[in-house]
Amino acid sequence: MRLTDIVINNDGEGIKHILEETPFLAKEQNKKGNNVLMMFLRYYQRYDFYEKVLILMDYCDLTQVNKKGKNVLIMILGIMLVGHSDKLFKDTLSTLLKIITLLISRHINHKEFKMLNVRDLLGDSILIKLIYLDCFDLVETLIPYIDFNHTNYLGETPLMIAAKKGNIGCVKLFLSRSDINRLNKGGLTAIFYTIIYHDKCHSKKFQNIFDILFPYCDIFYHTPLHGNMLNLCIRILYRTKQVNTNNRSQLMYDEKFKTFSHYLDSIKNQYKYHYHRLIWCLNQNQFYPDMLIKQLLWTYLMV
């Protein structure tokens, strides 16, 4: 009989009795290195899932990590990320969130802080997954126990993920604890995420995050792909104007121009104090190969 069958085919009292009589079952692992609690997670849609998980948590080793480097926390957060956009998943999501809260509390109470910094194969930590799920309260709970400058396989820090998600609360929380000018593997800093994702999502929250990060950023930094912030903003506006062919896109362009003009004003005011660096930036042909864009830059900045 499989270990999960014991859990499925018995009620709470029956599971307790079996695990007390044969405690070694709670330590048994399958070929993937999962214990009975980890294996039972796939049945998260069962009506008695929460009750049985609470029982298994008392008998299983919560610090166990399987062959993929995942612990119970990472596995549950993975399930939540897959289903969090599904409206039918809402009740299950709240149940899983209760379990996550309990697990985090236990790890903190037992001073198992290493378990709070476990990462999956993509390098995403528990903190990064909680940011994706917008679980701000749990992120706050983890503050004293987390490395804020760890990165995933793309070189993204929690601050970059928060900026990409438009999570203003997390950005404010990480601001004094993170390296704001740290680069990902593509050569981008956190503030570039706000500009790029604002271009994609047209949300006011990215402008708010830009305003939070801007005073602490190196405005002269050039990315390998996008140039500096000034160049990126101009290029986005120029590209938007090129595809402006109907009234709907005209409205979108007007709104985008208003937002990106705000970005440009912030950058321009800083460049005024570094005129010689501005001249140097505008004359870097590799970043400004298009003469029209160069003219736009001169026209905008010199007024």
43-47, 102-106, 222-226 — which one is most confidently predicted on average? 102-106
| Architecture in CATH for domain 148-218 | Alpha Horseshoe (1.25)
- Give the pLDDT mean for 260-289: 61
State the chain's mean pLDDT as an integer. Answer: 81
User: What pLDDT score was predicted for residue 229?
Assistant: 77
User: What pLDDT score was predicted for residue 169?
Assistant: 92
User: What pLDDT score was predicted for residue 241?
Assistant: 63
User: What pLDDT score was predicted for residue 302?
Assistant: 46
pLDDT 10s digits, 199-257: 777 778 888 998 899 888 887 777 777 777 777 777 777 666 665 555 555 666 667 77
85-89, 146-150, 260-264 — which one is most confidently predicted on average? 146-150
pLDDT 10s digits, 46-75: 888 999 999 999 999 999 999 888 999 999
Domain positions in the chain are 148-218, 223-303
User: What does the H/E/C string look like for the chain?
Assistant: CCHHHHHHCCCHHHHHHHHHHCHHHHHCCCCCCCCHHHHHHHHCCCCCHHHHHHHHHHHCCCCCCCCCCCCHHHHHHHHHHHHCCCHHHHHHHHHHHHHHHHHHHHHHHCCCHHHHHCECCCCCEHHHHHHHCCCHHHHHHHHHHCCCCCCCCCCCCHHHHHHHHCCHHHHHHHCCCCCCCCCCCCCCCHHHHHHHHHHHHCCHHHHHHHHHHHHHCCCCCCECCCECHHHHHHHHHHHHHHCCCCHHHHHHHHHHHHHHHHHHHHHHHHHHHHHHHHHHHHCCCCCCCCHHHHHHHHHHHCC
